[in-house]
Chains A and B, each alone.
Chain A
Amino acid sequence: DAGVTQSPTHLIKTRGQQVTLRCSPKSGHDTVSWYQQALGQGPQFIFQYYEEEERQRGNFPDRFSGHQFPNYSSELNVNALLLGDSALYLCASSLRLVEAFFGQGTRLTVV
């Protein structure tokens, strides 16, 4: 089992551009959540996908959007990038509340 995989691992974008991050959940997991982790901070919940629908959303602007595919994989899209969007973006998959499995993350740098 490959666990949760994310791509790319690192990315550099310019302000105003758009970015798409990808996540493949752990085998058998149907729920995917995305988190943003700024340096030295705890992960902040962006949104969660279940059965291809956004089930919950954190306090992030509409520039952050996502999608879940029938195979449970997911994408996170961020439009009109700001310098403040620079962070580690983590994907987590789970079957139940007790344990979430995180990917290694995508380090996004906006310049």
Chain B
Amino acid sequence: GQSLEQPSEVTAVEGAIVQINCTYQTSGFYGLSWYQQHDGGAPTFLSYNALDGLEETGRFSSFLSRSDSYGYLLLQELQMKDSASYFCAVGTGFQKLVFGTGTRLLVSP
């Protein structure tokens, strides 16, 4: 089977740093992506790792360890607008994405 596990909810305060972990077990692996989804909105692409290591995009960074089937999304300098659901997703070939269960991030003042 295919599964991606994430914490269901994470809470933090404005200005803080938060890490959202993702462990995966999939048949086929072409990279780990992260998507943000606000309530009632569409998932939007944040970051992608095809190789081991850290990718940095502004306040967001993503890490991948293929040997551990593990990755994380790091959000720095949290803002209220970062309150949303975050999904990790594995590309399993031909642009098919297998999504995780999602992590709801609540940022408080």
Contacts and interface: CB of A to CB of B under 8 A. Distances in A.
Nearest to B6: A42
A44 B2 CA distance: 11
B99 A96 contact: no
Contact of B94 (A55, A92, A101): A55
A56 B94 contact: yes
Chain A: number of interface residues, binned into ranges:
20 to 34
Contacts of B102: 40-42
A88 to B, nearest CB: 9
24 contacts: A4-B42, A31-B95, A33-B96, A33-B97, A35-B99, A41-B101, A42-B87, A42-B89, A42-B101, A42-B102, A43-B87, A43-B97, A45-B96, A45-B98, A48-B94, A48-B95, A56-B93, A56-B96, A90-B42, A90-B43, A97-B91, A98-B33, A99-B33, A100-B45
